[in-house]
Amino acid sequence: MATLIAPPNHSPTEDAEALRKAVKGWGSNEKAIIAILSHRNATQRTQIRQAYNDLFQEDLIKRLESELSGDFERAMYRWILEPAEREALLAHLALKNGDKNYQVIVEISCVLSPEELLVVKRAYHNRYKRSLEEDVAVNTTGHLRQLLVGLVSSFRYGGNEINANLAQSEADVLHEAIKDNNGKYEEIIRILTTRSKIQLVATFNRYKDDHGIAITKKLSDEGSNDFHKAAGLAISCIIDHKKYYEKVLRNAMEGAGTDEDAITRVIVSRAEKDLKDIKEVYYKRNSVHLEHAVAKETSGDYKTFLLNLMGKDD
């Protein structure tokens, strides 16, 4: 379930006018901006952008970018975009920054459904006039390239059929390919990049039953190069993306320092989808409420904004 609290009836025009008032003049009224935008769903936000543009001949996103700053600005910028536009932006930034593990690329290609991924790839075309595939390919090499390009490219089957025999045989193929770190990545790539997600989950379960160890654990035992890491992330996202996101949040707040980009990414991307479930997983794992953890690690408008998105009533 989502955490976002958005009123069913809102007036895009009134919202646009209130936002205009909040950004006009010397300094802007962050509280007012948060009060409106942290309580509007994707459709409503798009309507507000449109109304703002019609009324004031100005792009609301650009105006907010120039008025806000820091983590708060980045979070608001990501939030106000439509989900597919946002994922396209996140993928582009990950490639531009040369994020070595390509975590965001794996995440987008393995958490989203085949149809959702397609919409993101269309948004990427529109935004950057190139394909996500070609940008991933040009930034990587070798087996990591094969894996990542395969993950973003494939239009997986999205139906519910599971082939138990195939799960059995491909669990064995994966076992042979992973063990003794033998560098036989070709079959790992084929299976991870082309099979349907539901089929893969059956295969990973078979693997665990037959070989007495989770495939992700075996993979990390056998190697720690970028390929192993990316394959492990892909498997985690496919098996249970809520657990995966819990871990992303935990890692982002553990120890010294805070990974604000990761916190923002998860909260902004999932607030309208299943952040409530992720919060539950987080609480079960850490015995701390996610809101409390986030409140401890963040501050100011950024903190207020995130807590609102997480379902806090203000």
The residue to which tokens 């919202």 are assigned: 15
Instruction: Specify the residue, 99 or 133, whose C-beta has the smaller distance to a copy of itself.
Output: 133
Token pair belonging to 253:
């707040």
Instruction: Specify the residue, 31 or 184, whose C-beta has the smaller distance to a copy of itself.
Output: 184
Residues annotated within a binding site: 25, 27, 67, 257, 295, 297-298
By C-alpha distance, which of 112, 131, 129 is closest to 121?
Answer: 131
Instruction: Specify the residue, 174 or 253, whose C-beta has the smaller distance to a copy of itself.
Output: 174
Nearest distance from C-beta of residue 268 to a copy of itself, angstroms: 25
Nearest distance from C-beta of residue 88 to a copy of itself, angstroms: 13
Angle in degrees, CA 83, 88, 90, rounded to 5: 95
Nearest distance from C-beta of residue 155 to a copy of itself, angstroms: 5
Q: Which residues bind a copy of itself (CB under 8 A)?
A: 118, 121-122, 125, 129-134, 137-138, 141-142, 145-146, 149-150, 153-159, 161, 186, 190, 193-196
Instruction: Specify the residue, 18 or 137, whose C-beta has the smaller distance to a copy of itself.
Output: 137
Nearest distance from C-beta of residue 169 to a copy of itself, angstroms: 11
Residues annotated within a binding site for Ca(2+): 25, 27, 67, 257, 295, 297-298
- The pairs formed by 253-261 with CB atoms below 8 angstroms and a separation of 24 or more are 253/293, 253/294, 253/296, 253/297, 258/297, 258/298, 260/71, 260/74, 260/298, 260/302, 261/74
